[in-house]
Structure 1
Amino acid sequence: MLYPELFKQLESVRWDMDKDIPWDRFDRTLLSDEQAQTVKMNAITEWSALPATEMFLRDNKNDSDFSAFMSIWFFEEQKHSLVLIEYLRRFRPELMPTEQELHEVRFEFEPAPALETLMLHFCGEIRLNHWYRRAAEWHSEPVIKHIYTTLSQDEARHGGAYLRYMKRAINNFGNEAKAAFAKVGVLMASARRTAQALHPTNLHVNKALFPRDTIQSRLPNPEWLEHWLDQQINFDQAWEGKVVERILHNMSLLMDRSFKSVQELNRYRKELQASLVLPGTGAPKPGAA
């Protein structure tokens, strides 16, 4: 089991909201209304760890080890929302999200293949680590800069934990797991070719609720994310390149094969897919469906 070891590792570096956030360094002159509004939007977005956890527990009922790890991930992700709300409570209380605004992002995600979902969230942690690093640079106010840096470090550690479970999946399921990871890896490393930010909170997850079936679509300002990325924190091609580089680097480690581009990963994905079907039939091999 990975959960006991991951618990110890993450417990040893867990930060305390009262002791480790330098609340006394707050400088009101360095926080604009525009910046404070983005803190509110991120606080609500982070609250979506709640429905994501419900999804993970439902879709991994046969995996008690991973489900137990969700207790750590859920606690730390909800804490991200809480520290952003606390920042607003102390310094801009009129912008604190209401309970209804938080509850709005709790809705049911449709069942999905567990391996693909695992890879999706692994890539999401990489992307969010970079978004928060860029947000820390964009902000001027010392306390929120410190908070975003702290959150980015948590997201990196969560990505590392997901990677451990991905390695375990490859040991258990071989090419089936590799194919699932490569498929989602190609998608999540192809943001330059899409009109939207590729992150789990911005993907459609419930056809019955379309078009309000993404986390971002249920925020008070559904257009906020793209504006935050493009016009505020300026998450440009150079930063997007860093995300793609980290995804490809980790795919190389997982697959024991070097990927220098998304195209190389996509070719490998096709090789894996071909290995999982019966020759001349196009039908999946037994156990590969």
Structure 2
Amino acid sequence: MLYPELFKQLESVRWDMDKDIPWAQFDASRLSDEQAQTIKMNAITEWAALPATEMFLRDNRDDSDFSAFMSIWFFEEQKHSLVLMEYLRRFRPELVPTEQELHEIRFEFDPAPALETLMLHFCGEIRLNHWYRRASEWHSEPVIKHIYTTLSQDEARHGGAYLRYMKRAIGKFGNEARAAFAKVGVLMASARRTAQALHPTNLHVNKALFPKDTIQSRLPNPEWLEHWLDQQINFDAVWESKVVDRILHNLSLLMDGRFKTVQELNRFRKSLGPAPAAA
């Protein structure tokens, strides 16, 4: 089982909201209303760990090890939402999300193949790590800069934990797992070819609710994410290439390949033949 070891590792670096966030360094002159609004949107988006955890537990009922790990992931992701809300409560109380705004993004996701979902969220952690690193650079207020750096480090550790479960899956399922991971990897490393940001919170997950079946579509400002990325934190092609490089690098290590480009990963995917129905 991976859960006991991952619990010990993540517990050893867990930060304390009262002791490890430098609240006393807050500088009101360095926080704009525009910046504060983005913090609210991210606080709500992070609340999406709730429906995501419900999805993971439902779709991994046969995997108690991974399901137990969800207790760590869920706790730490909800803590992200909480620390952003605490920041607003202290310094912009009028922007604290309402309970209804938070509840609005709790809806059921359609069942999906567990291996593909695992890879999707692995890529999501890599992407969010880079988004938050860029957000920390964009902000000028010291406390929120520290918070975004802290969250980005958590997301990196979560990605590492998912990678451990992906390695285990290849040991169990072989090419079925490789095909699932390569398929989603090609999609998630091709963001420059799409009109939208490729992250789990921005993907359609419930046909019955379409088009209001993404996390972002249920925010108070559904257009916020693209504006935040393009106009505010300026997540440009240089930063996008860093995300793609990390995805390809990790898949290369995972599958003993050398994927320098998405095209090379796609050729590898095709070499595996048709993906098994269970994948």
TM-score range for the pair, normalised by the shorter chain length:
over 0.9
Where does 1:12-161 land on structure 2 (aligned, <5 Å)?
12-161=12-161
Deviation, 1:52, is 0.0
- Specify the alignment match of 1:281 in structure 2: none
Separation in 2 of the partners of 1:51 and 1:221?
A: 20
Separation in 2 of the partners of 1:269 and 1:143?
A: 44
Separation in 1 of the partners of 2:196 and 2:98?
A: 27
Separation in 2 of the partners of 1:251 and 1:6?
A: 21
- Specify the alignment match of 2:172 in structure 1: 172
Separation in 1 of the partners of 2:157 and 2:5?
A: 13
Normalising to structure 2: TM-score of the pair? 0.99
Separation in 2 of the partners of 1:63 and 1:179?
A: 20
One-letter amino acid of the structure 1 residue matched with residue 90 of structure 2? R
Larger Rg: 1
One-letter amino acid of the structure 2 residue matched with residue 65 of structure 1? D
One-letter amino acid of the structure 1 residue matched with residue 108 of structure 2? E
Question: What root-mean-square deviation, in Å, do the aligned CA atoms of Structure 1 and Structure 2 show?
Answer: 0.9
Separation in 2 of the partners of 1:56 and 1:152?
A: 22
One-letter amino acid of the structure 1 residue matched with residue 30 of structure 2? L
Separation in 1 of the partners of 2:34 and 2:164?
A: 38
CA displacement 1:113-157 (0-9 Å, x = unmatched):
000000000000000000000000000000000000000000000
Separation in 2 of the partners of 1:114 and 1:58?
A: 10
Deviation, 1:272, is 1.1
Separation in 2 of the partners of 1:121 and 1:260?
A: 21
One-letter amino acid of the structure 2 residue matched with residue 190 of structure 1? S
Where does 1:178-197 land on structure 2 (aligned, <5 Å)?
178-197=178-197
One-letter amino acid of the structure 1 residue matched with residue 10 of structure 2? L
One-letter amino acid of the structure 2 residue matched with residue 184 of structure 1? V
Separation in 2 of the partners of 1:272 and 1:204?
A: 27
Deviation, 1:288, is 5.7
Where does 1:250-289 land on structure 2 (aligned, <5 Å)?
250-274=250-274
Q: Which runs of 5+ in 1 are unaligned?
A: 277-283
Moved over 3 A (4+): none
Separation in 1 of the partners of 2:273 and 2:187?
A: 15
- Specify the alignment match of 2:221 in structure 1: 221
Report the 3-state secondary structure (helix = DSSP H, G, I; strand = E; otherwise coil) of the residue aligned with 1:16: coil
CA displacement 1:154-212 (0-9 Å, x = unmatched):
00000000000000000000000000000000000000000000000000000000000
Report the 3-state secondary structure (helix = DSSP H, G, I; strand = E; otherwise coil) of the residue aligned with 1:273: coil
Deviation, 1:273, is 2.6
Deviation, 1:24, is 0.1
Separation in 2 of the partners of 1:28 and 1:107?
A: 36
Where does 1:232-251 land on structure 2 (aligned, <5 Å)?
232-251=232-251
Separation in 1 of the partners of 2:81 and 2:270?
A: 39
Percent same amino acid at aligned positions? Answer: 89
The answer to whether the 8 A contact 2:113-2:278 is kept is no
One-letter amino acid of the structure 2 residue matched with residue 171 of structure 1? G
Normalising to structure 1: TM-score of the pair? 0.95
Deviation, 1:237, is 0.1
Equivalences, count: 279
One-letter amino acid of the structure 2 residue matched with residue 45 of structure 1? T
User: Structure 1 residues 243, 37: closer, same or farther in 2, change over 3 A?
Assistant: same
Separation in 2 of the partners of 1:151 and 1:50?
A: 17
Separation in 2 of the partners of 1:129 and 1:225?
A: 15
